[in-house]
Amino acid sequence: MQDLENEGEKELMDELESPRKGGIFLMEDDLEAGQLICVHSIKCTNDAAPIMGQSLTITSVCLPYFTATIYADPNELLTLDVRYLRLMKVTEDFAKAQLRMKPKRGSRVAPSESEPNS
């Protein structure tokens, strides 16, 4: 019974990842500079990563690697490896909505001149 469930799950994932089926996941050769994407999940694990769901803009592709900036913080450049990630396209509306979110990491805003130096 467990084997049938595993086979069914594998077939479903294969179907979702197949470019011919119009699945939600991007294949490696679908990546292009300028695309808006996000990391859906990490392959072969149930672990979560802080980058999941954050909108990224692809800046360059050299498979299996690609570089991307975080849409909400274009100064942050990442180098990612497609062999370990499930990627999906996101809409510009989704990416813009993240601009209104508070940053998850420390602020990169420089201290104002009115604040004393420590």
Domains of the chain are: 26-100 (2.30.30)
DSSP string, 74-102: EEEEEEEEGGGEEEEE--HHHHHHGGGSP
- As a whole number of angstroms, the distance between CA 13 and CA 25 comes to 10
Task: Give the per-residue pLDDT at 107.
Answer: 41
Average pLDDT for the chain: 79
Task: Give the per-residue pLDDT at 85.
Answer: 95
Task: Give the per-residue pLDDT at 108.
Answer: 45
pLDDT bucket at 104, cuts 50 / 70 / 90 = low
Beta-carbon-side half-sphere exposure of residue 36 (alpha carbons within 13 Å): 14
107: Cα separation from own chain's centroid: 21
**Residue 44 scores a pLDDT above 50:** yes
How far from each other are the two terminal CA atoms of the chain, in whole angstroms?
65
